Amino acid sequence: MSEPSPTRPRSERARTAILAATRDLVAEVGYEQMSIEGIAARAHVGKQTIYRWWKSKSAILAECVLEGLILPSRELPPDTGDLRDDLLVWFRGALHELGDPANASLLRGLVSAAADDPDLAAVLYERLTGPQEASMAARLREAEADGEIDSALTSTAVIEMLFGTIVYRILSRLDVGPDLADGLIDTLFDGLRGAK
């Protein structure tokens, strides 16, 4: 209904170039050292074109994350009937991916950026956990119905615990080896009391 007087449309070319430059720079020099001026230069774009559409460096990053330019996303594997096994497979994969030094470094940059930008935080953590969340909820319900587990935790809590641990290790710069996965999944299912 509204008729915003006709004007030159936003340049998709510029938008894409900016996101790509940001993706490259954050990987090359890190979030803190990356400057908006540098992004503009790399993208052959005027600074104003950036400021026209984004309000901060972290907002550009948020869009990169949203577009999947930065963090890969990992779906839960197909249901094999054994939730514990499926989770283990999936979690090992996630660990392997995020544990790679380049990705670990990138993740630290993103966390740093998200630490003082709630909007980026929302996007980042949604991107990190979102894709798994829904199917995880369904699986937990099934497993509970099957008697495989007696769930005391929501899918959100499970995911937060797993990712929280990974992120914590990455932030504190501890190794993120594959055996971490086994220990966590074991504890998650059996608890410290161990399997009966």
- Residues at the contact surface with DNA, assessed by CB under 7 A: 3-11, 13-15, 17, 35-38, 44-49, 51-53, 56-57
How many residues touch a second copy under the rule CB under 8 A: the total is 50
CA distance 150 to 128: 26
Residue 163 binds to a second copy (criterion: CB under 8 A): yes
Q: Establish how many alpha carbons lie within 13 A of residue 93's alpha carbon, considering only the half-sphere containing its beta carbon.
A: 13
DSSP 3-state assignment of 61? helix
Which is it for the CA torsion 4, 8, 9, 15, positive or negative?
A: negative
Picked from a second copy, DNA, none, the partner binding residue 51 (CB below 5 to 8 A depending on kind) is DNA
Stretch near a second copy under the rule CB under 8 A, chosen from 20-28, 34-42, 64-72, 169-177: 169-177
Query: What single-letter DSSP state applies at residue 73?
Result: -
Stretch near a second copy under the rule CB under 8 A, chosen from 36-44, 64-72, 91-99, 183-191: 183-191
Q: Are 15 and 52 in contact (CB under 8 A)?
A: no
Residue 186 binds to a second copy (criterion: CB under 8 A): yes
* Binding positions for a second copy, 143-162, rule CB under 8 A: 143, 149-153, 157-158, 160-161
CA distance 14 to 9: 11
